[in-house]
């Protein structure tokens, strides 16, 4: 079945350094990939989404490129800010309206001054 793998449970870095959170996936179908961000005691919110191979998608300083050849959708940011500290989830959904989301375990990003 479909699955999403986020290899890092916790990433700690200093403000100003680049961010890269890994996400790989397995699916037999055409799919959408997503990054959701969840700040403490808040709802998960959509950060990025993509279904187009090799096209960079950007939002709020973060970017990701879906690479179907390597089944990856890594999240990157050039310079971390303190406010980026949060839980980041990678998820996939098979193409089609309102399909269920398959989630990774999540990566907790802690940005220190």
Applying CB under 8 A, among 21, 23, 32, 80 the residue interacting with other proteins is 32
**Radius of gyration of the chain measured on its C-alpha atoms:** 13
What does 50-70 look like in DSSP terms, one character per residue?
E-STT-EEEETTEEEE-BTTT
Q: Which residue's CB is nearer to other proteins, number 19 or number 37?
A: 37
The answer to whether 53 and 68 are in contact (CB under 8 A) is: yes
Whose CA is closest to 76, among 24, 35, 25? 35
104 near other proteins, judged by CB under 8 A: yes
> Dihedral (C-alpha) 40, 58, 19, 91: value to the nearest 10 degrees?
60
Please, what is the minimum distance in Å from the beta carbon of residue 65 to other proteins? 18
Please, what is the minimum distance in Å from the beta carbon of residue 42 to other proteins? 6
The answer to whether 72 and 24 are in contact (CB under 8 A) is: yes
89 near other proteins, judged by CB under 8 A: yes
Size of the site for other proteins (CB under 8 A): 23
Applying CB under 8 A, among 17, 26, 45, 110 the residue interacting with other proteins is 45
Binding site for other proteins (CB under 8 A): 4, 32, 36, 41-46, 49, 51, 89, 93, 95, 97-98, 100-106
């Amino acid at each position: 079945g479909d699955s999403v793998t986020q290899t890092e449970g916790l990433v700690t870095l200093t403000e100003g350094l680049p961010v890269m959170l890994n996400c790989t996936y397995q699916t037999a179908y055409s799919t959408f990939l997503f990054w959701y961000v969840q700040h403490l005691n808040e709802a998960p919110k959509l950060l990025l989404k993509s279904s187009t191979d090799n096209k960079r998608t950007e939002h709020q300083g973060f970017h990701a490129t879906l690479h179907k050849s390597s089944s990856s959708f890594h999240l990157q940011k050039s310079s971390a800010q303190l406010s980026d500290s949060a839980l980041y989830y990678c998820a996939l959904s098979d193409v089609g309206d309102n399909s269920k989301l398959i989630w990774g375990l999540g990566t907790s990003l802690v940005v220190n001054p």
